[in-house]
A and B are shown apart, each in its own frame.
Chain A
Amino acid sequence: MSAAFKPKHQRLALVGIALIAILVAGVLAAWALRNQASYFYIPSEIVAHPPAADRAVRLGGMVKVGSLKTAPDGVTMHFEVDDGKAQVPVTFKGLAPDLFKEGSGVVAEGHMVGGTFVADNLLAKHDENYVPRELQDMSKQQARQTVADTK
């Protein structure tokens, strides 16, 4: 152990260690990303191809007007997310973000349990500078139509 590397070999050994570490990190990252990245769905997609129950996903769309109800405990909410083609019931326990309301866009993070989406977190349009990534496109392509359909 205590013998120094032979000349020439030390640099090679260091480069080797670094490469192995990068390789291991790369393989691990690729494997974990396959399993842990959370995919974004709109209601019609999640209805057509529901994800596995243990898989964390994001669901985005419009909060359907007239669907928002608060449970008797005062902190559990039920509402439907709509993309004009399909609706998905969502349950959320927590404090809703400030700009969360019926008829506006929302992205829910959570997973599917049976036919219901159980959300751990809700992202709404926060201010003019912060719009959840997924909603930026939606407001261009679908939002106007969605709102028009659900009115």
Chain B
Amino acid sequence: MIAELGLAALWLAAALAALQLVAAWLGQRAGGETLARVVRPAAVMQALLCGLAFLMLLWTFARTDLSVALVVENSGSDAPMIYKIAAAWGNHEGSMLLWITIMALAGGLIALIEHRLPEKTMLATLGAQAFVGLGFYAFIVFASNPFTRVAMPPADGNGLNPALQDIGLAMHPPTLYCGYVGLSIAFSFAVGALLTRQVTPDFARVMRPWILGAWIFLTLGITAGSYWSYYELGWGGWWFWDPVENASLMPWLAATALLHSASVLASRDALRTWTIMLGVIAFSMSMIGTFLVRSGILTSVHAFAVDPTRGTFILVLLAINIGGALALFAARAGTIAEGERFSPLSREGALVINNVTLCAVLGIVLVGTLYPLLTEAFGLRVSVGPPYFNPVSMVFVTPMLMVLAIGPLLRWRRDSFARVRAPVLLAAAAALIALLGLWLLAGMALLPLLGLTLAAGVAVSAFMPLRGRSLKRLPLSVWGMAISHFGIAVALFGMSVDTAFTVEKLTAAGVGETVAVGPWQVRLTSVEPVAGPNWTSLAGRLSASYRGGPAHELAPQSRTFWARPQTTAESALLTRWNGQLYTVIGEETQDGRWQLRLWWKPFVTFIWLGGMLIGLGGLLALIGRVASDLRRRAAARKIAARQADVAEVPR
């Protein structure tokens, strides 16, 4: 009954999306005012029904309803409750339902609260949102129905994928999807603005909180995903340039560019067509990312739920949405009047460089990700990894970060170099000192050296825009910018130091033996069996001491799950302020010793700390923007009320 209710709600939501599209289309015309009034309620109802469908799916998973095929395939009665629920979106069908649910909720929310834009633009926006949504509804109900029943319910399900039984990973897809789908709102606004030719600063202001929100989710999602693969995969690496990682990085790069160009449009009414273009590209990257992950065209460590037969469906959806939006852009871009002009040496000029370099990096990542697919069509199998991505993207990241250090100090419209000479020289001096200092510490590779130099320059310049301003009266968005930029320096510092100074030790040790890795002395005390709720494991007991200091206990495990017989290495980490000791235990050798893999990774935690700072900066900016919007609205309402009073008095 629950599954049928969910399916019915899903169909009704799809029907409402169709209604929303048709009403928005016809409502644009003269005499369509009655229909136009239907659009907003339809969007809200669609959100509620889609939310209901998703809740029903969660419910079937929570009670392990084994008459539903998806539950049988992806869950089991022995798993802890939190993972049973997370299993609902840890598979293809459930994750697509999550996608459309978030999209419907976002659409319902703008229908409910957004009243700043001309009504025609709003109609076009909600119409575009319904159009994109309909494609995904069709995909779900026709090609990946999550509520399909099985004829004969089995005694128990297949169990959860062991790799997914981790709280970080359970929360990973919803976070990323919020980011992906938040960009759909920016996309719909861009299409709406193109259709009605209303590209104004107001449009950018309306769009900005959505971009910011999506960007925060993407930032945190990527950061968490990186940390997850770092400790879960047991390889000690934090970024593999895996296609699925790239699929989340590409929308982030586009969203970062869009965020900056939208702020130019909002503050200065410049870069109009450029912002529209980025709005289209950003969500296109989300859809391409989904296509890469969900179609099964790439098989990688992340691709848990793949089904090649569905690839064609998503590819067609992709072609219609992206191709349609780009065609519309090509047709309309010429008719959008040029915005305000600016001198090359100005805040706008710096942000143009930011945008161009971000797009170049995006192009490099996209080409590197798709290249193996292209060559495979010609019968040649290749893979593209760090030797391509690292140096080539650094060619553009370097000028981008140099401009990042200077740009926030510049004034809008035009500026002179003489005015910003002092802070620029200071940042350059910091970078130079870092460069020289590291050069004297010979033997450092080019990329980490460059990374540390840039990190020093960016860190010093990040807080300079705050100089000479009253810190109390400073808008939250300026604080946000400074913190985000500082976060980039912190993350870059962590990446460079980890790349340059990590110490690795791979050995087989007997019980009681001591192994040295960097400043650590690690002793294998014992190896014991441990039992969990749905697994058993062999746990090594390690006792580690830093430079002869007190001993710390670590217990890396080699864990075997029952429901799906599979072994995973559970790494154990020891965190200090200046780095992490990373330990993995392998198999027993023939002579009774144990394989141990140990790393000392100085300042590796700064990578994710930096990621969190970047996200925190975004959050502060978002709070600042929304709060000032609310204040402005309250003020407008007060003025309107006063005017109404004045109008009533003479009567």
What is the interface of chain A, defined by CB distance below 8 A to chain B?
1-5, 7, 10-11, 14, 17-18, 21-22, 24-26, 28-29, 32-33, 36-40, 56, 58, 70, 73-75, 93-96, 98, 126-127, 129-134, 136
12 A–B contacts from the bound complex (CB under 8 Å): A2-B345, A4-B341, A10-B338, A21-B356, A25-B360, A32-B391, A33-B388, A37-B375, A56-B385, A70-B590, A74-B595, A127-B564
Central interface residue in B300, B304, B364, by most chain A CB within 10 Å: B364
Q: Known: A25-B364, A130-B299. Contact between A73 and B590, CB under 8 A?
A: no
The reply to whether the CB of B298 lies closer than 8 angstroms to some CB of chain A is: yes
B344 pairs with A1, CB closer than 8 A:
yes
- Given A33-B371, A75-B595, A133-B298, 6 other A-B residues pairs in contact with their CB atoms under 8 A: A25-B361, A39-B381, A40-B383, A94-B597, A129-B304, A131-B299
Residue among B360, B368, B392 with the highest chain A CB neighbour number at 10 A = B360
Q: For residue B391, which residues in chain A have a CB less than 8 angstroms away from its CB?
A: 32
Q: Which residue of B lies closest to A60 (CB)?
A: B381
Contacting residues, chain B, for A7 (C-beta < 8 A):
341
- Cα–Cα, bound, A70→B589 (Å): 8
CA distance A111 to B363 in the complex (A): 29
The A-contacting residues of B in range 376-393, CB under 8 angstroms, are: 380-385, 387-388, 391-392
Query: A5 → chain B, closest Cβ, in Å?
Result: 6
**Minimal Cβ-Cβ distance residue in A for B588:** A74
Interface centre among A7, A24, A32, A58 (most CB of B within 10 A): A32
The answer, yes or no, to whether B343 is at the interface (CB within 8 Å) is: yes
Q: Are A38 and B384 in contact (CB under 8 A)?
A: yes
A22, A74, A131, A132: which contacts B593 (Cβ < 8 A)? A74
The reply to whether the CB of B414 lies closer than 8 angstroms to some CB of chain A is: yes
Smallest distance from the beta carbon of A79 to chain B beta carbons, Å?
15
Q: How far is the CA of A83 from the CA of B384 in the complex (A)?
A: 24
**Interfacial chain A residues near B416, Cβ < 8 Å:** 1-2
If the complex has contacts A25-B363, A75-B595, are A129 and B388 also in contact, measured as CB distance less than 8 A? no
Report which of B301, B357, B388 forms a contact with A130, defined as CB distance below 8 A.
B301
> A74 near B392 (CB under 8 angstroms)?
no
Q: Does B15 sit at the interface, judged by CB under 8 A?
A: no
Contact B364 A29 (CB under 8 A): yes
Smallest distance from the beta carbon of A26 to chain B beta carbons, Å? 7
Q: Roughly how many angstroms separate A150 CA and B352 CA in the complex, as a whole number?
A: 61
Do B363 and A29 have beta carbons less than 8 Å apart?
yes
**Of B298, B387, B507, B584, which contacts A74 at CB under 8 A?**
B507
Does B396 have its Cβ within 8 Å of any Cβ on chain A? yes
A102 to chain B, nearest CB (A): 14
Residue of B whose beta carbon sits closest to that of A5: B341
Do the beta carbons of A37 and B356 come within 8 Å of each other?
Answer: no
Q: Which residue of A lies closest to B383 (CB)?
A: A38
Of B468-476, B565-573, B612-620, the segment with at least 4 beta carbons within 8 Å of chain A is B565-573
* Contact between chains at B567 and A75 (CB < 8 Å): no
Which residue in chain A gives the minimum CB-CB distance to B388? A36
Please state if A136 and B597 are interface contacts (CB–CB under 8 Å): no
List B residues at the A interface (Cβ < 8 Å). Answer: 161, 163, 234, 274, 298-301, 303-306, 338, 341-345, 352, 356-357, 359-361, 363-364, 367-368, 371-372, 375, 380-385, 387-388, 391-392, 395-396, 414-417, 506-508, 564, 566-569, 584, 586-587, 589-591, 593, 595, 597
Shortest CB distance B348–A (Å):
10
**B300 / chain A contacts, CB cutoff of 8 Å:** 130
Contact status A95-B305, CB under 8 Å = no
A98 touches B383 (CB 8 A): no
Contacts of A94 in B (CB 8 A): 506, 597
Q: Kindly report which residue of chain A lies nearest to residue B362, judged by CB atoms.
A: A25
Name the CB-closest residue of B to A6.
Answer: B341
Q: Which residues of B contact A17 (CB under 8 A)?
A: 352, 356
Q: Which residue of B lies closest to A127 (CB)?
A: B566
A18 touches B359 (CB 8 A): yes
**Separation of A14 and B352 alpha carbons in the complex (Å):** 8
Total residue contacts A-B, CB cutoff 8 A: 141
In the bound complex, CA of A26 to CA of B381 (Å): 21
Q: Are A32 and B392 in contact, CB atoms less than 8 angstroms apart? A: yes
Residue ID in chain A nearest B365 by CB atoms: A29
Q: Is the CB of B356 within 8 A of A95?
A: no
Q: What residues of chain A lie closer than 8 Å to B364, measured between beta carbons?
A: 25, 28-29
B residues near A21, Cβ cutoff 8 Å: 356-357, 359-360, 396
Chain A residues near B564 (CB-CB < 8 A): 127
- Select B388's contact among A37, A39, A75, A136, beta carbons within 8 Å: A37
Lowest 5 CB-CB distances: which A-B pairs, in order?
Answer: A74-B508, A40-B381, A95-B586, A74-B589, A25-B360
- A94–B234 CA distance with the chains assembled, in angstroms: 12
Enumerate chain B residues within 8 angstroms of A33, measured Cβ to Cβ. Answer: 367-368, 371, 384, 388
Q: Judging by beta carbons under 8 Å apart, are B396 and A25 in contact?
A: yes
The answer to whether A32 touches B360, judged by C-beta atoms less than 8 angstroms apart, is no
Chain B contacts for A10, CB-based, 8 A: 338, 341-342
Contact present for B299 and A36 (CB under 8 Å): no
Could you tell me the distance in whole angstroms from the C-beta of A41 to the nearest C-beta in chain B? 9
Instruction: Report whether B385 and A39 are in contact in the complex, using a CB–CB cutoff of 8 Å.
Output: no
CB-based contact A134/B384 at 8 Å: no
In the complex, A26 Cα to B325 Cα: how many Å?
Answer: 24
Question: Which of A5, A7, A24, A38 gathers most chain B CB within 10 Å?
Answer: A38
A24–B360 CB distance below 8 A: yes
> Are B363 and A22 neighbours in the complex by a CB distance under 8 Å?
yes
Indicate whether A75 sits within 8 Å of B507 (C-beta atoms), given known contacts A33-B371, A130-B299.
yes
CB nearest to B506 among chain A residues: A75
Which residue from A1, A93, A98 sits with its C-beta under 8 Å from B567?
A: A98
Residues of B within 8 A of A58 (CB): 383
> Contacts of B414 on A, CB cut-off 8 Å?
2, 4
- State how many angstroms separate the Cβ of B217 from the closest Cβ of chain A: 26
CB of A143 to closest CB in B, whole Å: 16
Chain B CB within 10 A, most for which of A4, A26, A37, A70: A37
CB-nearest residue of chain A to B593: A74
Chain B residue at minimal CB-CB distance from A19: B356
Which partner residue on chain A sits nearest B376 by CB separation? A133
Known: A18-B359, A21-B360, A98-B567. A129 touches B305 (CB 8 A): yes
- Asked whether A4 lies within 8 Å of B371 as measured between CB atoms, the reply is no
Bound: A14/B264 CA distance, A: 14
Known: A18-B356, A21-B356, A39-B380. A29 touches B367 (CB 8 A): yes
Chain A residue nearest to B271 (CB atoms) is: A14
- Residue in contact with B417 in the complex, picked from A1, A36, A74, A75, CB distance below 8 Å: A1
A136 to B376 CA separation, bound complex (whole angstroms)? 13
Chain A's closest residue to B352 (CB) is: A14
A73 to B506, CA, bound (A): 10
State whether A75 touches B342 (Cβ < 8 A).
no
Report which residue of B274, B300, B416, B506 has the largest number of chain A beta carbons within 10 angstroms of its beta carbon: B506
Q: Please, which residues of chain A bring their CB within 8 A of the CB of B591?
A: 74
- Shortest distance from the beta carbon of A15 to any chain B beta carbon, whole Å: 9
In the bound assembly, the distance between CA atoms of A18 and B359 in angstroms comes to: 9
Contact indicator B368/A40 (Cβ below 8 Å): no
Contact between chains at B357 and A28 (CB < 8 Å): no
